[in-house]
Amino acid sequence: MTVVLPRPRAAEHAERIATPRRYLMCRPDHFAVDYAINPWMDVTRGADRALAIRQWESLRQTYLALGHEVQLIDPEPGLPDMVFAANGGLVFEGEALGARFTHPERHAEGPAYLRWLRAAGLKTVTEPVHVNEGEGDFLVVGDLVLAGTGFRTDPGAHGEVQELFGVPVVSLHLVDPRFYHLDTALAVLGDHDIAYYPEAFSPGSRAVLQRLFPDAILAGEQDATVLGLNAVSDGRNVVLPSTATDLADQLRAHGYTPVGVDLSELLKAGGSVKCCTLEIRA
Ligand code: ARG
């Protein structure tokens, strides 16, 4: 199948248009690093929950200041990673697919997010068959879904999303355990525009990305290893970790407005801006 994506020309960079978004977030009231399911998590180092809450609150305020709607799901005791709302499902054109987590430590988050989605007034909410970690591994780029596999989401879930939503799903293989979810290695900037860290992908997947997005921003290792690509764009403003300074410069050069935030405490669990944010797409 050939996917033809219109390519923005340099002159179009000047006018990036922001559109209002609806986000779901979960306050890190029970946040902790007391198990390790990715290389970022060091149980001996622990985490400062009060600081995590303040940093998370500043992210929420950033979205509100940009004019976006932020809805909240009640955090549940015993689910320290529930703050990473992106993993709670995938919502496309008002229809949702729930999540089914890889690790037992996070299993109970699947039903918790499903309950929220069922009460959110969406057209349909579907319980997943295959393991999938929601927007951690599924990223919507215009009329296309990019789907990660290799560490968490089962490739069977890629077909499930394609069949459920009737949208083309492009499978991408992640190869570096530091970038265990697609949203740690690739950021969606606009309907036809992404940024990514090539080294996180298999050679074939890199070639696919190059073919589909020849004008993409390529992030370097320094930006990737502060999870700079774990970013949220409204089409113009790109909220990202403030430590990803080169990426911020590249975004500016492409006509975007980078908005840096400090989520250092959440990084200790291997998450940042995008991980804390599930987009509820009408
Ligand atoms: N500690 C969590 C995990 O390993 C972090 C999840 C980050 N979320 C994301 N969308 N990348 O599952």
**What radius of gyration do the chain's Cα atoms show?**
17
In the annotation, is 192 catalytic?
no
**CA 219 to centroid of ligand 1, rounded, Å:** 20
Q: What pTM value is reported for the model?
A: 0.95
Answer whether 271 contacts ligand 1 (Cβ < 6 A).
Answer: yes
Sheet holding 95-98, edge to edge: 89-92, 95-98, 124-126
With the most atoms of ligand 1 within 8 angstroms of its CB, the residue from 31, 34, 79, 84 to mutate is 84
Is residue 2 one of the residues assigned to a domain? no
How far is Cα 113 from Cα 100, in angstroms, rounded to an integer?
Answer: 10
| Long-range contacts from 92-95, C-beta under 8 angstroms, 24+ separation | 92/140, 92/145, 92/165, 92/167, 92/281, 93/123, 93/165, 93/281, 93/282, 94/122, 94/123, 94/281, 94/282, 95/122, 95/123, 95/124, 95/125, 95/126, 95/164, 95/165
* Catalytic annotation, pick one of 181, 192, 254, 276: 181
In the annotation, is 276 catalytic?
no
**CA 181 to centroid of ligand 1, rounded, Å:** 7
Residues of the chain where predicted confidence (pLDDT) is lower than 50: 11
How far is Cα 15 from Cα 12, in angstroms, rounded to an integer?
Answer: 6
Neighbours of 112 (CB within 10 A): 19
DSSP assignment letter at 7: -
Total structural domains in the chain?
1
Q: Which atom of ligand 1 is nearest to the CA of 269?
A: 1
ipTM of model:
0.97
Answer whether 38 contacts ligand 1 (Cβ < 6 A).
Answer: yes
Q: Give the domain CATH number at 126.
A: 3.75.10.10
Is residue 266 one of the residues assigned to a domain? yes
Is residue 5 one of the residues assigned to a domain? no
Answer whether 270 contacts ligand 1 (Cβ < 6 A).
Answer: yes
**CA 136 to centroid of ligand 1, rounded, Å:** 7
Q: Which of 65, 61, 78 is nearest to 25 (CA)?
A: 61
For residue 211, what are the contacts with CB-CB under 8 A and spacing of at least 6? none
197: Cα within 13 Å, side-chain hemisphere: 28
Answer whether 102 contacts ligand 1 (Cβ < 6 A).
Answer: no
What pLDDT, on a 0 to 100 scale, did the predictor assign at position 173? Answer: 98
What pLDDT, on a 0 to 100 scale, did the predictor assign at position 54? Answer: 98
Is residue 8 one of the residues assigned to a domain? no
Answer whether 136 contacts ligand 1 (Cβ < 6 A).
Answer: yes
**CA 112 to centroid of ligand 1, rounded, Å:** 16
Look up residue 154 and give its two tokens: 């089962």
**CA 147 to centroid of ligand 1, rounded, Å:** 15
* Full domain range(s) for residue 152: 19-279
* Catalytic annotation, pick one of 158, 254, 275, 276: 275
* Beta strands 237-241 and 232-233, pairing class: antiparallel
Q: Which residue's CA is the nearest one to ligand 1's atom 7?
A: 271
